[in-house]
Amino acid sequence: MADTVVAHCRAGFEVECAADIERVAACAGVSLAIDVRPDRAFVTATGRIAIARWTAALATTPPIFARSVFAGSGPHPLSGRDRITPIVALAAELEPRYQCVWLETPDTNQGKMQSGLCRRLAPLLDSAMATTGMLAPADARLPRLHVMFESDRSAWVGVSRGPPGSNWPMGIPRVAMPHGAPSRSTLKLAEALLTFLDDEQRLRWLRPAMRAVDLGAAPGGWTWQLIQRGLRVIAIDNGPLKGAVTSDPLVEHLRADGLTYRPRRAVDWMVCDMVLSPSRIATLVASWIADGACRRSIFNLKLPMKKRDAEVQRCAAIIQDTLRERRVKHTLSFRHLYHDREEITGYCARVD
């Protein structure tokens, strides 16, 4: 049993993160008292939580704004002399063995001040856990141990399991800006492909010679990401492309309206990063999938300053209602990615 849930998010999105936790709690059938503090970059919730039941609820109701979620206890006061011994003892109360240990901080400037402490403690904690037989890196079926330091003298300790849990500490993938990409927006699509697709799916659904359409392509960051995988891309934008994508033989640039363009024959992917209202993008994605113009789509929704969670739910309903009316089996997911800011990324695919 655990008594605390900790959810990482982008600073400023704590209210939306709390809505995620409320949905998961409702699915798990538990009542939680949620603590939401502005610009903290995480949300906590307290109550009696069966970890197995919580993990199942996370898989059924995946969070949108929460980057990474773990269940455990805290905050625990820690001595400056010995932090390792109490952390190992707290870990033993939750699970007998773990596949890895993640030392984390909130994603804020203040939180990052503890990153040096995490680097110093990581090998010491790994060694202590291995000595007690609690660390088994080769067994991916085991949970992860999270230790999140808000300060150098207190920490939350908890567990998460995959696939409901994030694949990265704090839910942040380490994606480097690639040399030659025409814009930093390429990082959003790179992260989206890591988030929404597993290793096998990326191999199967991003094969050389597959065809894609990039709506709102300029200056070409998303197109660049696709051609690196060998896809042939029709880049739709009245604006110019930049860099190597302008002359790449895999790219056909058409100066056309992204809202009205359709390919002559169906493509494998449609990606879209146009600056339009979220509902218009949702309607556009739904029509592409419903009409069979593409099989899969990754797209951005530029969110309003207020009622952001409600806007995402409205866009999800637009897509789902359209596809259900057309009797199109599909999967639909949304995540507030690390490389997103006042926007959110969606993934929709036909399911045969």
For 1-51, what is each residue's pLDDT tens digit?
899 999 999 999 999 999 999 999 999 999 999 999 999 999 999 999 999
Do both 166 and 193 map to the same domain? no
Does residue 235 belong to any structural domain of this protein? yes
Q: Which of 188, 242, 302, 307 is catalytic?
A: 302
Burial 203-239 (b: 16+ CB within 10 A, else e): eebbeeebbbbbbbbbbbbbbbbbbebebbbbbbbee
Do both 222 and 119 map to the same domain? no
**What is the pLDDT, as a whole number, of residue 300?**
97
Cis peptide before 63 (omega within 30 of 0): no
Asked if 46 contacts 32 with a C-beta cutoff of 8 angstroms, the reply is: yes
Does residue 178 belong to any structural domain of this protein? no
Do both 241 and 345 map to the same domain? yes
- Domain boundary residue, one of 124, 141, 171: 171
Give, in order, the Cα–Cα distances in Å from 342 to each of 53, 69, 151, 278. Answer: 32, 21, 28, 12
Is 302 assigned a catalytic role?
Answer: yes
Do both 51 and 75 map to the same domain? yes
Q: What does the alpha-carbon distance between residue 272 and residue 278 come to, in Å, rounded to a whole number? A: 12
**Please, which residues have CB within 8 angstroms of residue 158's CB and are 6 or more apart in sequence?**
2, 4, 5, 6, 70, 71, 72, 73, 74, 94, 145, 146
- Domain boundary residue, one of 171, 199, 226: 171
Question: Which CATH number do you get for residue 16?
Answer: 3.30.2130.30
**What is the pLDDT, as a whole number, of residue 352?**
83
Instruction: Report percent pLDDT > 90 for the chain.
Output: 95
Do both 192 and 317 map to the same domain? yes
Which amino acid type is present at position 235? Answer: A
Does residue 176 belong to any structural domain of this protein? no
Average pLDDT over residues 91-96: 96
Does residue 177 belong to any structural domain of this protein? no
Do both 307 and 334 map to the same domain? yes
Question: Which CATH number do you get for residue 233?
Answer: 3.40.50.150
Do both 117 and 29 map to the same domain? yes
**pLDDT tens digit sequence for 254-289:** 999 999 999 999 999 999 999 999 999 999 999 999
Q: What does the alpha-carbon distance between residue 226 and residue 221 come to, in Å, rounded to a whole number? A: 9
**pLDDT tens digit sequence for 69-81:** 999 999 999 998 9
Average pLDDT over residues 218-225: 97
Does residue 107 belong to any structural domain of this protein? yes
Instruction: Kindly report the number of other CB atoms within 10 A of residue 1's CB atom.
Output: 10
**What is the pLDDT, as a whole number, of residue 1?**
81
Strands 267-272 and 211-215: parallel
Q: What's the predicted TM-score (pTM) here? A: 0.95
For the chain, report the end-to-end CA distance as a whole number of angstroms: 40
Do both 64 and 144 map to the same domain? yes
Does residue 180 belong to any structural domain of this protein? no
Domain count, the chain: 2
Does residue 7 belong to any structural domain of this protein? yes
Do both 162 and 191 map to the same domain? no
Q: Which domain holds residue 27?
A: 2-171
Do both 230 and 98 map to the same domain? no
Do both 191 and 158 map to the same domain? no
Does residue 310 belong to any structural domain of this protein? yes
- Domain boundary residue, one of 104, 139, 171: 171
Do both 230 and 277 map to the same domain? yes
